[in-house]
A = this chain, B = another copy of it.
Amino acid sequence: MRNFLVTIQYEGSRYQGWQRQENTKNTLQAKFESLLTKLAGEPVEIAASGRTDAGVHAYGQAANFHMDTALTPGQLMGEINRYLPEDVAVVACREVDARFHARLHAKRKVYRYRVLNSDVPHVFDRKFVYQVEKPLNVEAMRAAASFLIGTHDFKSFTSAKKGKKSTVRTVESIAIERVGDEVRFLFAGDGFLFHMVRILVGTLLEVGLSMREAADLGRVLAACDRGQAGFLAPACGLALMEVFYDT
């Protein structure tokens, strides 16, 4: 069986997230598996680098699947795109080693969160930004973000129920830039917990709105208590930008 690594873009607005679920067919994984199974004539499973929540977008989700086919990767990409709805597309496809796994081998991920910091609405990007009308203090948010860089237990910043899985992650960088009337957050790290980026953004926004001191972030991190962190920023502002592999 050949193993294909695809790069996928989607506008998450219409979907119940990436991961297949019992109670709905409206997930991206279910769409892909149904389509690939039809193309292959036998059951195909697809493994993404990680799930994305309902409403979260992707510019560069990565996923792999095994399939017997005589098509080149380019031809296969064309076939898949022919059947995908217009808010999903495969933008790259290549063949990889049979043992490659998109989740297990992911080394690094980059997420972007877009905040429209203006009282004038965005017509064209309205589905991709979270609007905050009051002015944000970018310098204060940068100071707060500096407490988060490095390898820490991010238990305060996840909605995941208590479990055996480690909540230690390494955040390599958090860049916060004002771009026109937007404030954009770029997160790079080895992996992110359930809701982690959105809770980090919510907490940083509370600093940017002077509801919380920048230095408070150190305390929140050390507390390992979700109750100490800020609000869950809406899904619409978030996008998975890129997943990196050694291969």
Contacts and interface: CB of A to CB of B under 8 A. Distances in A.
Interface in A85-137: 86-89, 91, 119-124, 126, 128
Interface residues of A, number: 21
A9 B121 CA distance: 10
A78 interface: yes
A124 B11 CA distance: 7
Which of A9, A89, A121, A122 has the most chain B CB within a 10 Å cutoff?
Answer: A121
A11 B123 contact: yes
B123 A81 contact: no
B86 A124 contact: no
A86 B119 contact: no
Contacts of A86: 121, 123, 126
B121 A81 contact: yes
A18 interface: no
A123 B78 contact: no
| 5 A-B pairs with least C-beta separation | A9-B123, A89-B121, A89-B123, A86-B126, A91-B120
Interface of A: 9-11, 57, 59, 77-78, 81, 86-89, 91, 119-124, 126, 128
